Structure 1
Protein backbone atom coordinates (compact mmCIF):
# COMPACT_ATOMS: atom_id res chain seq x y z
CA UNK A 1 0.00 0.00 0.00
CA UNK A 2 2.81 2.36 0.89
CA UNK A 3 4.46 1.59 -2.45
CA UNK A 4 1.29 2.49 -4.37
CA UNK A 5 0.92 5.78 -2.48
CA UNK A 6 4.60 6.60 -3.03
CA UNK A 7 4.35 5.87 -6.77
CA UNK A 8 1.17 7.96 -7.07
CA UNK A 9 2.78 10.79 -5.09
CA UNK A 10 5.89 10.77 -7.33
CA UNK A 11 3.71 10.70 -10.46
CA UNK A 12 1.64 13.60 -9.13
CA UNK A 13 4.73 15.69 -8.27
CA UNK A 14 6.26 14.91 -11.71
CA UNK A 15 3.13 16.03 -13.52
CA UNK A 16 3.04 19.25 -11.49
CA UNK A 17 6.67 19.96 -12.29
CA UNK A 18 6.14 19.35 -15.99
CA UNK A 19 2.95 21.42 -16.05
CA UNK A 20 4.63 24.36 -14.36
CA UNK A 21 7.27 24.89 -17.05
CA UNK A 22 6.38 26.30 -20.44
CA UNK A 23 9.22 27.68 -22.54
CA UNK A 24 8.74 29.87 -25.60
CA UNK A 25 11.04 31.58 -28.07
CA UNK A 26 11.05 34.98 -29.70
CA UNK A 27 12.97 36.74 -32.44
CA UNK A 28 13.34 40.09 -30.70
CA UNK A 29 15.56 41.68 -33.36
CA UNK A 30 12.95 40.88 -36.02
CA UNK A 31 10.31 42.62 -33.91
CA UNK A 32 12.55 45.65 -33.29
CA UNK A 33 13.11 45.86 -37.05
CA UNK A 34 9.36 45.79 -37.65
CA UNK A 35 8.55 48.56 -35.16
CA UNK A 36 7.71 51.86 -36.91
CA UNK A 37 9.66 53.76 -34.26
CA UNK A 38 12.85 52.06 -35.44
CA UNK A 39 12.72 54.05 -38.69
CA UNK A 40 12.64 57.28 -36.67
CA UNK A 41 15.62 56.10 -34.61
CA UNK A 42 17.57 55.36 -37.81
CA UNK A 43 16.75 58.81 -39.22
CA UNK A 44 17.75 60.61 -36.02
CA UNK A 45 20.95 58.56 -35.77
CA UNK A 46 21.86 59.34 -39.39
CA UNK A 47 21.22 63.04 -38.79
CA UNK A 48 23.38 62.99 -35.66
CA UNK A 49 26.11 61.12 -37.57
CA UNK A 50 25.99 63.68 -40.38
CA UNK A 51 26.45 66.49 -37.86
CA UNK A 52 29.46 64.71 -36.35
CA UNK A 53 30.84 63.99 -39.83
CA UNK A 54 30.59 67.64 -40.87
CA UNK A 55 32.55 68.74 -37.81
CA UNK A 56 35.08 65.99 -38.47
CA UNK A 57 35.39 67.04 -42.14
CA UNK A 58 36.11 70.62 -41.12
CA UNK A 59 38.96 69.44 -38.87
CA UNK A 60 40.40 67.18 -41.57
CA UNK A 61 40.21 69.95 -44.18
CA UNK A 62 41.93 72.37 -41.81
CA UNK A 63 44.69 69.81 -41.20
CA UNK A 64 45.18 69.19 -44.94
CA UNK A 65 45.36 72.94 -45.69
CA UNK A 66 47.96 73.45 -42.97
CA UNK A 67 49.95 70.43 -44.15
CA UNK A 68 49.98 71.64 -47.77
CA UNK A 69 50.96 75.13 -46.63
CA UNK A 70 53.82 73.63 -44.61
CA UNK A 71 55.03 71.55 -47.58
CA UNK A 72 55.06 74.65 -49.82
CA UNK A 73 56.96 76.82 -47.35
CA UNK A 74 59.20 74.14 -45.82
CA UNK A 75 62.25 75.01 -47.95
CA UNK A 76 62.23 78.61 -46.78
CA UNK A 77 61.79 77.83 -43.06
CA UNK A 78 64.41 77.58 -40.38
CA UNK A 79 64.89 74.42 -38.30
CA UNK A 80 63.09 75.80 -35.24
CA UNK A 81 60.07 76.93 -37.29
CA UNK A 82 59.92 73.51 -39.03
CA UNK A 83 59.96 71.67 -35.69
CA UNK A 84 57.27 73.96 -34.27
CA UNK A 85 54.94 73.47 -37.24
CA UNK A 86 55.61 69.71 -37.35
CA UNK A 87 54.69 69.52 -33.66
CA UNK A 88 51.46 71.48 -34.35
CA UNK A 89 50.59 69.18 -37.27
CA UNK A 90 51.25 66.06 -35.17
CA UNK A 91 49.00 67.50 -32.45
CA UNK A 92 46.25 68.21 -34.99
CA UNK A 93 46.54 64.68 -36.35
CA UNK A 94 46.20 63.24 -32.84
CA UNK A 95 43.17 65.46 -32.22
CA UNK A 96 41.56 64.18 -35.42
CA UNK A 97 42.11 60.54 -34.40
CA UNK A 98 40.76 61.26 -30.92
CA UNK A 99 37.71 63.07 -32.36
CA UNK A 100 37.03 60.14 -34.69
CA UNK A 101 37.20 57.65 -31.80
CA UNK A 102 34.97 59.86 -29.65
CA UNK A 103 32.55 60.28 -32.56
CA UNK A 104 32.15 56.52 -32.85
CA UNK A 105 31.52 56.29 -29.12
CA UNK A 106 29.02 59.14 -29.25
CA UNK A 107 27.17 57.45 -32.14
CA UNK A 108 26.87 54.25 -30.11
CA UNK A 109 25.62 56.13 -27.06
CA UNK A 110 23.06 58.06 -29.10
CA UNK A 111 21.79 54.89 -30.80
CA UNK A 112 21.52 53.14 -27.41
CA UNK A 113 19.70 56.13 -25.92
CA UNK A 114 17.18 56.15 -28.76
CA UNK A 115 16.69 52.35 -28.82
CA UNK A 116 16.22 51.96 -25.05
CA UNK A 117 12.50 52.91 -25.08
CA UNK A 118 11.87 50.44 -27.92
CA UNK A 119 13.50 47.60 -26.00
CA UNK A 120 11.51 48.59 -22.91
CA UNK A 121 8.27 48.50 -24.95
CA UNK A 122 9.25 45.11 -26.39
CA UNK A 123 10.12 43.76 -22.95
CA UNK A 124 6.76 44.83 -21.56
CA UNK A 125 4.91 43.24 -24.50
CA UNK A 126 6.88 40.00 -24.08
CA UNK A 127 6.05 39.91 -20.37
CA UNK A 128 2.36 40.53 -21.07
CA UNK A 129 2.14 37.84 -23.77
CA UNK A 130 4.14 35.37 -21.69
CA UNK A 131 1.89 35.82 -18.64
CA UNK A 132 -1.27 35.78 -20.74
CA UNK A 133 -0.25 32.48 -22.38
CA UNK A 134 1.23 30.81 -19.30
CA UNK A 135 4.90 30.80 -20.34
CA UNK A 136 7.44 30.50 -17.55
CA UNK A 137 10.45 31.26 -19.76
CA UNK A 138 11.00 33.02 -23.08
CA UNK A 139 14.28 32.55 -24.92
CA UNK A 140 15.46 34.90 -27.63
CA UNK A 141 16.61 33.12 -30.77
CA UNK A 142 18.59 36.03 -32.20
CA UNK A 143 22.27 35.25 -32.09
CA UNK A 144 21.78 31.92 -30.33
CA UNK A 145 21.90 28.50 -31.87
CA UNK A 146 19.38 25.85 -30.92
CA UNK A 147 19.43 22.24 -32.03
CA UNK A 148 15.64 22.17 -32.17
CA UNK A 149 12.88 24.71 -31.70
CA UNK A 150 9.22 23.82 -31.98
CA UNK A 151 7.65 26.79 -33.77
CA UNK A 152 4.38 26.37 -31.84
CA UNK A 153 6.17 27.88 -28.81
CA UNK A 154 7.47 30.94 -30.71
CA UNK A 155 5.60 34.01 -29.46
CA UNK A 156 7.07 36.46 -31.99
CA UNK A 157 3.74 36.88 -33.81
CA UNK A 158 1.81 37.28 -30.55
CA UNK A 159 4.15 40.07 -29.42
CA UNK A 160 3.90 41.78 -32.82
CA UNK A 161 0.10 41.72 -32.49
CA UNK A 162 0.34 43.08 -28.93
CA UNK A 163 2.48 45.96 -30.25
CA UNK A 164 -0.04 46.58 -33.06
CA UNK A 165 2.45 45.72 -35.82
CA UNK A 166 1.16 43.91 -38.88
CA UNK A 167 3.31 41.21 -40.38
CA UNK A 168 4.09 41.79 -44.05
CA UNK A 169 2.93 39.01 -46.33
CA UNK A 170 5.40 37.28 -48.58
Structure 2
Protein backbone atom coordinates (compact mmCIF):
# COMPACT_ATOMS: atom_id res chain seq x y z
CA UNK A 1 0.00 0.00 0.00
CA UNK A 2 2.85 2.44 0.80
CA UNK A 3 4.27 1.97 -2.70
CA UNK A 4 0.89 2.81 -4.22
CA UNK A 5 0.73 6.13 -2.32
CA UNK A 6 4.34 6.92 -3.20
CA UNK A 7 3.61 6.34 -6.90
CA UNK A 8 0.51 8.58 -6.66
CA UNK A 9 2.62 11.34 -5.05
CA UNK A 10 5.28 11.07 -7.75
CA UNK A 11 2.65 11.10 -10.49
CA UNK A 12 0.94 14.14 -8.94
CA UNK A 13 4.27 16.02 -8.85
CA UNK A 14 4.93 15.17 -12.51
CA UNK A 15 1.45 16.39 -13.37
CA UNK A 16 2.00 19.61 -11.39
CA UNK A 17 5.22 20.19 -13.33
CA UNK A 18 3.26 19.74 -16.59
CA UNK A 19 0.59 22.17 -15.34
CA UNK A 20 3.27 24.77 -14.60
CA UNK A 21 4.96 24.28 -17.96
CA UNK A 22 1.63 24.74 -19.75
CA UNK A 23 0.43 27.86 -17.93
CA UNK A 24 1.89 31.24 -17.18
CA UNK A 25 0.84 31.18 -13.52
CA UNK A 26 -1.13 28.84 -11.29
CA UNK A 27 -1.98 29.03 -7.59
CA UNK A 28 -1.54 26.34 -4.97
CA UNK A 29 -5.28 26.57 -4.26
CA UNK A 30 -6.16 25.79 -7.89
CA UNK A 31 -3.72 22.85 -7.92
CA UNK A 32 -5.08 21.57 -4.60
CA UNK A 33 -8.62 21.53 -5.99
CA UNK A 34 -7.49 19.87 -9.21
CA UNK A 35 -5.69 17.03 -7.39
CA UNK A 36 -8.10 16.83 -4.46
CA UNK A 37 -5.38 17.42 -1.85
CA UNK A 38 -4.71 20.19 0.64
CA UNK A 39 -3.01 23.43 -0.32
CA UNK A 40 -0.19 22.48 2.07
CA UNK A 41 0.34 19.21 0.16
CA UNK A 42 0.82 21.25 -3.02
CA UNK A 43 3.25 23.60 -1.25
CA UNK A 44 5.22 20.51 -0.18
CA UNK A 45 5.10 19.07 -3.71
CA UNK A 46 6.44 22.34 -5.11
CA UNK A 47 9.22 22.37 -2.48
CA UNK A 48 10.24 18.84 -3.47
CA UNK A 49 10.23 19.73 -7.16
CA UNK A 50 12.41 22.76 -6.42
CA UNK A 51 14.76 20.62 -4.35
CA UNK A 52 15.22 18.41 -7.43
CA UNK A 53 16.30 21.48 -9.40
CA UNK A 54 13.05 22.50 -11.10
CA UNK A 55 13.11 26.29 -11.66
CA UNK A 56 9.75 27.02 -10.06
CA UNK A 57 9.17 30.49 -8.71
CA UNK A 58 6.57 31.52 -6.17
CA UNK A 59 5.02 34.88 -7.04
CA UNK A 60 2.41 36.98 -5.28
CA UNK A 61 -0.28 35.32 -7.41
CA UNK A 62 0.93 31.74 -7.64
CA UNK A 63 3.65 29.55 -9.04
CA UNK A 64 5.32 29.68 -12.41
CA UNK A 65 7.94 27.64 -14.16
CA UNK A 66 10.83 30.05 -14.63
CA UNK A 67 12.33 29.30 -18.01
CA UNK A 68 15.16 31.63 -18.93
CA UNK A 69 14.25 33.37 -22.11
CA UNK A 70 15.80 35.81 -24.49
CA UNK A 71 14.30 38.84 -22.77
CA UNK A 72 16.65 41.34 -21.17
CA UNK A 73 17.31 41.08 -17.41
CA UNK A 74 18.52 44.11 -15.46
CA UNK A 75 18.90 45.13 -11.83
CA UNK A 76 17.77 48.47 -10.41
CA UNK A 77 18.18 50.05 -6.99
CA UNK A 78 15.28 52.13 -5.71
CA UNK A 79 14.47 54.12 -2.61
CA UNK A 80 11.06 55.53 -1.83
CA UNK A 81 8.34 55.72 0.76
CA UNK A 82 5.68 53.06 1.14
CA UNK A 83 3.19 55.52 -0.34
CA UNK A 84 5.21 55.67 -3.56
CA UNK A 85 5.19 51.90 -4.12
CA UNK A 86 2.31 51.89 -6.60
CA UNK A 87 3.96 54.68 -8.61
CA UNK A 88 7.19 52.69 -8.82
CA UNK A 89 5.46 49.47 -9.92
CA UNK A 90 3.19 51.23 -12.45
CA UNK A 91 6.13 53.11 -13.95
CA UNK A 92 8.00 49.86 -14.57
CA UNK A 93 5.01 47.91 -15.91
CA UNK A 94 3.74 50.77 -18.10
CA UNK A 95 7.14 50.88 -19.81
CA UNK A 96 7.06 47.14 -20.57
CA UNK A 97 8.95 45.79 -17.57
CA UNK A 98 8.15 42.86 -15.31
CA UNK A 99 9.24 43.11 -11.68
CA UNK A 100 10.69 39.68 -11.00
CA UNK A 101 11.53 40.20 -7.33
CA UNK A 102 12.44 42.58 -4.53
CA UNK A 103 15.75 42.31 -2.68
CA UNK A 104 16.91 44.00 0.51
CA UNK A 105 20.24 43.77 2.29
CA UNK A 106 19.41 43.11 5.93
CA UNK A 107 22.04 43.64 8.63
CA UNK A 108 21.19 40.35 10.39
CA UNK A 109 19.97 38.00 7.65
CA UNK A 110 21.98 39.29 4.70
CA UNK A 111 20.17 39.37 1.39
CA UNK A 112 16.42 38.75 1.60
CA UNK A 113 14.62 38.08 -1.69
CA UNK A 114 10.88 38.13 -2.25
CA UNK A 115 9.54 36.82 -5.56
CA UNK A 116 7.00 39.16 -7.12
CA UNK A 117 6.32 38.33 -10.78
CA UNK A 118 4.45 41.59 -11.31
CA UNK A 119 3.84 42.14 -15.03
CA UNK A 120 0.39 43.73 -15.34
CA UNK A 121 -1.69 46.46 -13.75
CA UNK A 122 -3.91 43.72 -12.29
CA UNK A 123 -0.83 42.18 -10.62
CA UNK A 124 -0.08 45.59 -9.12
CA UNK A 125 -3.67 45.98 -7.89
CA UNK A 126 -3.58 42.52 -6.29
CA UNK A 127 -0.23 43.20 -4.63
CA UNK A 128 -1.21 46.63 -3.36
CA UNK A 129 -4.55 45.35 -2.08
CA UNK A 130 -2.78 42.70 0.00
CA UNK A 131 -0.19 45.23 1.20
CA UNK A 132 -2.78 47.84 2.17
CA UNK A 133 -5.53 45.59 3.54
CA UNK A 134 -3.48 43.01 5.38
CA UNK A 135 -1.17 43.31 8.32
CA UNK A 136 1.89 43.24 6.05
CA UNK A 137 5.05 45.28 5.78
CA UNK A 138 7.06 45.76 2.61
CA UNK A 139 10.59 44.38 2.71
CA UNK A 140 11.88 47.87 1.93
CA UNK A 141 10.53 49.02 5.30
CA UNK A 142 13.47 47.13 6.83
CA UNK A 143 16.02 49.26 4.95
CA UNK A 144 14.65 52.82 5.00
CA UNK A 145 13.08 52.23 1.60
CA UNK A 146 16.24 51.04 -0.18
CA UNK A 147 15.68 47.90 -2.25
CA UNK A 148 16.58 46.25 -5.53
CA UNK A 149 14.46 44.76 -8.30
CA UNK A 150 15.37 42.34 -11.03
CA UNK A 151 13.51 43.67 -14.05
CA UNK A 152 12.70 41.66 -17.17
CA UNK A 153 11.98 43.58 -20.36
CA UNK A 154 12.40 43.30 -24.12
CA UNK A 155 15.84 44.87 -24.48
CA UNK A 156 18.49 47.05 -22.89
CA UNK A 157 17.01 50.19 -24.40
CA UNK A 158 13.66 49.51 -22.71
CA UNK A 159 15.51 48.86 -19.44
CA UNK A 160 17.33 52.20 -19.76
CA UNK A 161 13.99 53.94 -20.36
CA UNK A 162 12.61 52.37 -17.16
CA UNK A 163 15.64 53.57 -15.18
CA UNK A 164 15.38 57.09 -16.62
CA UNK A 165 11.67 57.29 -15.78
CA UNK A 166 12.30 56.15 -12.20
CA UNK A 167 15.15 58.67 -11.85
CA UNK A 168 12.91 61.46 -13.20
CA UNK A 169 10.35 60.85 -10.44
CA UNK A 170 13.09 60.44 -7.79
CA UNK A 171 12.49 56.74 -7.08
CA UNK A 172 15.83 55.47 -8.40
CA UNK A 173 18.45 55.34 -5.64
CA UNK A 174 21.09 57.98 -6.21
CA UNK A 175 24.44 58.01 -4.43
Please classify the TM superposition score into its range, dividing by the shorter chain length.
under 0.3
TM-score with structure 1 setting the length: 0.22
Larger relative contact order (Cα-Cα within 8 Å, sequence gap ≥ 6): 1
Decide which structure has the larger Cα Rg and report it. 1
Which structure features the higher share of helix residues?
1
